Structure 1
Amino acid sequence: MGMSQNLTLEQIRQAPKALLHDHLDGGLRPRTVVELAEAQGYTGLPTTDVAQLETWFRESADSGSLERYLETFTHTVGVMQSREALVRVAAECAEDLAADGVVYAEVRYAPEQHLEGGLTLDQVVEAVLEGFEQGRERAARAGNQIRIGTLLTAMRHAARSQEIAELAVRYRDAGVVGFDIAGAEAGYPPTRHLDAFEYLRRENFHFTIHAGEAFGLPSIWEALQWCGTDRLGHGVRIVDDIESSPSGGLRMGRLANYVRDKRIPLELCPSSNVQTGAADSIEKHPIGMLRRQRFRITVNTDNRLQSGTTMSEEFAKLCEAFGYGWDDLQWFTVNAMKSSFLPFDERLALINGHIKPGFAQLKWATE
């Protein structure tokens, strides 16, 4: 681990970052929510005052009430029901990530949640891809380079996973790099969607599974050993298989050892994990111990609007809590790129051409 260097948020924002777990419907600008609601005749918002709405999203997510937390997505998804809305939200997502120094991101969303305005699944995907391209171009004109890969998510309580898996494969050469399932873990195990995962493996396609956030080890085990996931969305509950020994060391169970030995990437989302109760605080987040034990850790935002966060802010919180420096942040970032669903040569090009030189320059400038 690198030495603590008291890095500032502005310094961290300059670092080239990689992001694997970010929800499109969890990253809208508050002003965009208000303007889209007005344009589409959506009347469900708790307030149309932009500052008050931003506060409402954050306080609802922090409330400890799952009902209030999920209500926030009712509103964001509610205003994302037209082609124009999807293009705008995706474009602004790309701009915002790029302005924060993110050079590669995988952004996920569930196409099946954006059909109320009459769009087809294909039209939803094409609108989002168009928006990401517009945002990438606008970011480039502002001097910020970013590449975005899209993950298509199926809802685990629904029955459309095979359809969404086929949709993802259909757009694999247009910017869709992977598949995901999300939603309540308890009562909806990933094995309900085995047909989709078997299809994806036959197609040599990548996928990740939300597992080990709220439910624990059985969810992680099924995602890995039955479904064959490439990564674990969250996966923070793997700590339930790690015990402190009487001598003060750690004793890992077979599942924890397997995850570490196989270098299974964990898509950890510190602020979000605190909000959902998966961790008591940033300071007590298991990421510190998992980092010391050299699990394949990646740091992510999950829902930037609800958590009021950015990738730079997530890194800044970890630096303050654990004394991390540039070497640690580079380690997290390289882990993310190694674990991305880009082809191998493209991952290497970003690591060696942008990420390592960028961190080297920052380390030199702050020594």
Structure 2
Amino acid sequence: MTSVPQDYRLPGGGAEISALPKISLHDHLDGGLRTETIIELGLRAGLDLPDLDPAELRSWFKRQANSDSLVEYLKTFELTIAVMQSAENLSRVAREFVQDLGRDGVIWGEVRWAPEQHLRAGLTLDQAVEAVQAGIEDGIDEVRHTTGHRIRVGQLLSAMRQNGDGLEIAELAVRHRNKGVAGFDIAGPEAGFPAKNLQPAFDYLAEHFMPRTVHAGEADGLDSIRGALFDGRALRLGHGVRIAEDIVVDREDAESTYVALGRLSQWVKDREIALELSPTSNLDTNAIAQWGDELVDHPFDLLYQLGFRVTVNTDNRLMSATTLSRELFLLAETFDYDLGDLESFQLNAAAASFLPLEEREELADQIIDGFEGA
């Protein structure tokens, strides 16, 4: 059983957002399971599940995630990870993940996950990566054969920042770079676990020219972002929303607000370092608490208006009860964005994707063609 994305349209009866070509850069595999699958696999494994009704289980995840705390938010993953410990289950979850992205109009998706969390039943790191890749490829084929939609997906391998220097995962990513892995990430508790702790991994990745993104500026502030850029040499910032702490309102008048950028935010803007913003998730985890607790308070629009390379993402579709189309709809509704704005977000994502230049340009052409026909 699968859930069909809602028919989100631009306010005023505009274009159907789910039909538009989209790019997903920040989407966790263990945060995008179908509740029907969790129940089936969980019962088979003898797990104590919060609820056996798919709809009620979805509600449970949303309640747990909407806790105003990243630490509490991360606890929901204990259940999803528990059903992702065999090659068969990993492949199934990855296949369904791709199918769900395809139905939402995604043409390029980067799915991040931490192989080190999926070894309890005896899989090796390489076997886990191979299982996920098999599921991705099956999902791509099924989407194409059943709908005609063409989607591509690459893996981002995450090292858990609290578990060591990350070198083994960096080596794993490089080992599989021509077999489905597009890049590297670090995830897990941000505060107290700076990027410099994983310096051996980042040095190895730089030596092998492996793309990397770093979770930063979500549960910690500017020092975390600074470390991601200069210790991790990140090409993108996972969330990065708290870069807005380095932007100060200088003065306001009846028509405009004038701001001053600090050196760090100016660097991120000038270097066009992509921000993997996830609006609903940022609300769920209290990442924007200093600005407010509603979407209108999110600094997304400020960053966009100032010319930062903002991208729109879901982070964890299950926990935040969302899709990429829904995130775009909510932003359009809140900030009065039009089709051109949504196209800009997708072109930003295309430019920031971990693909060769020529393939990024092809993505941009697909986006432009798709939006022109909307």
TM-score bracket for this pair, using the shorter chain length:
over 0.9
Code of the residue aligned with 2:102 in structure 1: it is A
Corresponding residue number in structure 1 for 2:126: 122
Code of the residue aligned with 1:331 in structure 2: it is S
Corresponding residue number in structure 2 for 1:319: 332
> What are the residue-to-residue correspondences of 1:32-111 with 2, within 5 Å?
32-41=37-46, 43-66=47-70, 68-111=72-115
Corresponding residue number in structure 2 for 1:365: none
Percent of aligned positions that are identical: 50
TM-aligned CA deviation for residue 72 of structure 1:
1.1
Corresponding residue number in structure 1 for 2:259: 250
Is the CA contact (8 Å cut-off) linking 1:7 and 1:319 kept in structure 2? Answer: no
Paired residue total: 357
> What are the residue-to-residue correspondences of 1:61-210 with 2, within 5 Å?
61-66=65-70, 68-143=72-147, 144-159=149-164, 161-210=166-215
Is the CA contact (8 Å cut-off) linking 2:113 and 2:156 kept in structure 1? Answer: yes
Higher RCO (CA-CA < 8 Å; seq separation 6+): 1
Corresponding residue number in structure 2 for 1:305: 318
Structure 1: unaligned runs, 5 residues or longer: 363-367
- What secondary structure is seen at the aligned counterpart in 2 of 1:302? coil
Corresponding residue number in structure 2 for 1:231: 236
TM-score normalised over the length of structure 1:
0.95
Code of the residue aligned with 2:142 in structure 1: it is R
TM-score normalised over the length of structure 2:
0.93
Code of the residue aligned with 2:156 in structure 1: it is L
Corresponding residue number in structure 1 for 2:296: 283
C-alpha distance in 1 between matches for 2:30 and 2:10? 35
Q: Does 1:328 align with 2:341?
A: yes
- What secondary structure is seen at the aligned counterpart in 1 of 2:200? helix
Q: Structure 1 123/258 Cα, relative in aligned 2: closer, same or farther at 3 Å?
A: same
Corresponding residue number in structure 1 for 2:306: 293
- The C-alpha deviation readout for 1:207-243, integer Å capped at 9, x for no partner, is 0000000110000011112221111000000000001
TM-aligned CA deviation for residue 314 of structure 1:
0.2
Q: Structure 1 222/84 Cα, relative in aligned 2: closer, same or farther at 3 Å?
A: same
TM-aligned CA deviation for residue 188 of structure 1:
0.5
Corresponding residue number in structure 2 for 1:11: 16
Q: Structure 1 226/123 Cα, relative in aligned 2: closer, same or farther at 3 Å?
A: same
- The C-alpha deviation readout for 1:151-187, integer Å capped at 9, x for no partner, is 0000000015100000000000011000000111111
- What secondary structure is seen at the aligned counterpart in 2 of 1:250? strand
Corresponding residue number in structure 2 for 1:262: 271
Structure 2: unaligned runs, 5 residues or longer: 1-8
Q: Structure 1 208/67 Cα, relative in aligned 2: closer, same or farther at 3 Å?
A: closer
Q: Structure 1 162/141 Cα, relative in aligned 2: closer, same or farther at 3 Å?
A: same
Aligned CA RMSD, in angstroms, stands at 1.4
Q: Structure 1 10/33 Cα, relative in aligned 2: closer, same or farther at 3 Å?
A: farther
- What secondary structure is seen at the aligned counterpart in 1 of 2:52? coil
Q: Structure 1 20/8 Cα, relative in aligned 2: closer, same or farther at 3 Å?
A: farther
